[in-house]
């Protein structure tokens, strides 16, 4: 009964490929997020969706395209992968409330070779 789940947990792929990471939450939250943790372990927000609508896009390259088929899912598609995309990607969710607690998935470690 994992609250926020991501698949896959590990992803190794070659430069230039296109890949997707899936995220699902069963907490009934309205808002979902993608965060990126770089090699220095620094976490930074990429996107946020509220009830399937984009509300945050932190100047992420347009090779990254989030898709939210419903409010329980937020998938991340990455085109033309580059070496610099190697990182750990975390999905998170929270209620639609400015002071709400956020819950994170276990992360997807993406390695581009």
Partner 1 sequence: KQEVTQIPAALSVPEGENLVLNCSFTDSAIYNLQWFRQDPGKGLTSLLLIQSSQREQTSGRLNASLDKSSGRSTLYIAASQPGDSATYLCAVTSVGTSYGKLTFGQGTILTVHP
CB of 16 to partner 1, least distance (A): 27
Position among 17, 18, 58, 80 found at the interface with partner 1 (CB under 8 A)? 58
Asked whether position 48 contacts partner 1 by CB under 8 A, the answer is yes
Asked whether position 111 contacts partner 1 by CB under 8 A, the answer is no
Distance CA 30, CA 50 (A): 6
Query: Which residue lies nearer to partner 1 by CB, 18 or 58?
Result: 58
Asked whether position 25 contacts partner 1 by CB under 8 A, the answer is no
Distance CA 22, CA 108 (A): 9
- Stretch of 13-21, 53-61, 64-72, 78-86 contacting partner 1, by CB under 8 A: 53-61
Beta-bridged to residue 37, according to DSSP, are 43, 88
Helix, strand, coil tally for the chain in percent (to 5): 5, 55, 40
- Stretch of 11-19, 31-39, 65-73, 74-82 contacting partner 1, by CB under 8 A: 31-39
Instruction: List, in order, residues 6 or more apart from 31 with CB less than 8 Å away.
Output: 48, 49, 50, 51, 55, 93, 94, 95, 96, 100
The residue ranges that bind partner 1 (CB under 8 A) are 4, 31, 33, 35, 40-45, 48, 50, 55-56, 58, 90, 92, 94, 96, 98-107, 109
């Amino acid at each position: 009964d994992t609250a926020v789940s991501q698949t896959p947990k590990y992803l190794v792929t070659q430069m230039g490929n296109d890949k997707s990471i899936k995220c699902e939450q069963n907490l009934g939250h309205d808002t979902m997020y993608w965060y990126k943790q770089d090699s220095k372990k620094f976490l930074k927000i990429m996107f946020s969706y509220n009830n399937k609508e984009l509300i945050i896009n932190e100047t992420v390259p347009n090779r990254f395209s989030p898709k939210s088929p419903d409010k329980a899912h937020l998938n991340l598609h990455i085109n033309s992968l580059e070496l610099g995309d190697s990182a750990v990607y975390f999905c998170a969710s929270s209620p639609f409330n400015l002071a709400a607690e956020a819950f994170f998935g276990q992360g997807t470690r993406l390695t581009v070779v």
